[in-house]
Amino acid sequence: MNTLNSIIISSNLQKKLIQIALTSLPFESCALLFGSISKNIITVRFVEQMENTKQSSIEFNMDPDELFKKYQDLSYPNFNIVGIFHSHPGPPIPSSTDIMYMKINPIPWVIYSTTSNELKSFLLDEQLSDISIKNKFVE
């Protein structure tokens, strides 16, 4: 059952994600979100831009070697990869390809639309659900 209901991304990190998306145009951009999970709330602490090896405006792919390196990166020893970010030059809704990869990566997928300027987060557990994005912790 999906009990995760929110992801905290500070305004500064949201700005960074938007900047990554805009500077990658016309291609989709992608990034890893590092942070921590406690009490069903994810807090993003760092954002690491990844190269979109597809160089495509309709899909993205991360280089497996770069991904492996980031997973082993000791710069953030206390943090895990808690989300996957990418941008869409269209609505911020997971594509059928996204859904396929979301099934094997059941962590929040954060999508920014460079056309509607919306930042959204989704999780595919048993079903696809919206995860609300907050910019600070609220009890």
**Among the residue ranges 16-24, 89-97, 102-110, 117-125, the one whose residues contact Zn ion (CB under 5 A):** 89-97
CB of 139 to Zn ion, least distance (A): 33
**Among the residue ranges 29-37, 45-53, 66-74, 88-96, the one whose residues contact Zn ion (CB under 5 A):** 88-96
95 belongs to the binding site for Zn ion (CB under 5 A): yes
- Rg (C-alpha) for the chain, rounded Å, is 14
Strand stretches in the chain, DSSP E: 6-8, 30-38, 41-50, 80-88, 109-113, 119-124, 128-134
CA atoms within 13 A on the CB side of 107: 16
CA dist., res. 7 & res. 37, Å (int): 9
* The only residue of 62, 98, 109, 123 in contact with Zn ion, by rule CB under 5 A: 98
61 belongs to the binding site for Zn ion (CB under 5 A): no
Chain residues binding Zn ion by CB under 5 A are 95, 98
